Amino acid sequence: MRNLKFKDAFAVSRILKKMHIRPDVQDGMTQEQLGADLVFKFVENIGEAEEEVLEFLADLKGIKPDELAKMDFEEAAKMIEDFKNIKGLQSFFQQVGKLMK
C-alpha cells in the first residue's frame, strides 16, 4: 500500500462528508486509537459512499476498484488493517479534519 499523498485529502474529505464522519483527533490519541475509531465509523457508514471508498482504497493499493470489490473478506480486512498503519495517518486526518471545518 502506498503512502498518502496531498491529493488523497480531497478524496477522503468527500468520502467522510458523504458518510457524515468527522475525524475526532484528540490530544494524546495514538494512531491505533484514531484508526480504530475511524474504522468503526467507516464500517458503520460504508454504504453511503461505496463507490468512492472502493476507488480510494483501490488507488492506495494500486489496483482497480472492481478488483477490490471482488476480494475475499479476509484479504480486504487485511488491507483495512494496513491502511490503519500507514505512516502519518494521524497527521493526515488532523489536516483533513481542519480542511472540513
Residue 24 has pLDDT above 80, yes or no: no
Residue 1 lies in a domain: no
Considering its fold, how many domains does the chain have in total? Answer: 1
Domain of 90, in residue numbers:
6-100
Do the Cβ atoms of 2 and 62 come closer than 8 Å? Answer: yes
Q: Which residue has the cell 480486504?
A: 76
Residue 76 lies in a domain: yes
Residue 38 lies in a domain: yes
DSSP 10-23: HHHHHHHHHTT---
pLDDT tens digits, 40-49: 888 888 899 9
Label residues 16-47 b or e (16+ Cβ within 10 Å = b).
beebebebebeeeeebeebbebbeebbeebee
pLDDT band at 101 (very low <50, low <70, confident <90, very high): low
